[in-house]
Structure 1
Amino acid sequence: GGADFYPTHFFIEKILGNEIGKKYSIDVYAAVDMCICGILAYRSILNGNIPVDVPDLRDPAQREKFKNDHACTFPYEAGDQLLPHNSFGVTEIPEGAYEEQKRLWLESQQGK
């Protein structure tokens, strides 16, 4: 634990203009480089594992293609670009499933 301190610390140091912040903080493009591969891999999986080009979002022309791309698993963000939360499609949770799990858990706690 405790690693969350460092990104925030170096971000603040960079804003303050301190050298250590400049040395160890990352910019938005480095952050995107670190996470976009997972996002695009998931899209590849959803489309039959097809190859997907990884854009260089530092290039305005490539960035423009993604300007209105909101595809994700969050309904409030994705709008009509909503992606399923897993590659197997929508999982229907039977009515009463949560109550049954609660009952089983409570039962397991008796006598502890």
Structure 2
Amino acid sequence: GEPPYLDVYKGVDMSIAGIQAWRSALADSAPMEVPDFRKEGARRKYRNDHWSPDPTRKGKKPPSSILGRIEPHKEAQALAKKVWATKGYHI
């Protein structure tokens, strides 16, 4: 009957700080709020925020560097594919 220590809100609390920190870094260290999604108003404000690094999702993607998009060299890509193949991941 006791609720788990780590519920969805605590999980989001732990991850949202990193997400907002990255947004801040990309915005030249501008302050960013850390919303409390337990509150309906905060959830409503971010309802249409689909900012995601997932390449399969539509919408704006965050760059992997504060310098913008960095394309790995062909040699680095080849090495990554080789290493990933040893782990069973083939692209």
Distance 2:12 2:62 in 1: 20
Residue 73 (structure 2) pairs with residue 94 (structure 1): yes
RMSD of the alignment, in Å? 2.0
Distance 1:80 1:70 in 2: 7
Q: Considering Cα pairs closer than 8 Å and 6+ residues apart, tell me whether 1 or 2 has the greater RCO.
A: 2
Residue equivalent to 1:83: 62
Q: 2:45 aligns with which of 56, 59, 65?
A: 65
Q: 1:50 aligns with which of 21, 24, 30?
A: 30
Percentage identity across aligned positions? 38
Distance 1:30 1:57 in 2: 10
Q: TM-score, normalised by structure 1?
A: 0.61
Which one has the largest radius of gyration? Answer: 1
Consecutive unaligned residues in structure 1, runs of 5 or more: 1-16, 103-112
| Higher-helix-fraction structure | 1
Aligned residues: 80
Post-superposition shift, 1:93? 2.2
Consecutive unaligned residues in structure 2, runs of 5 or more: 81-91
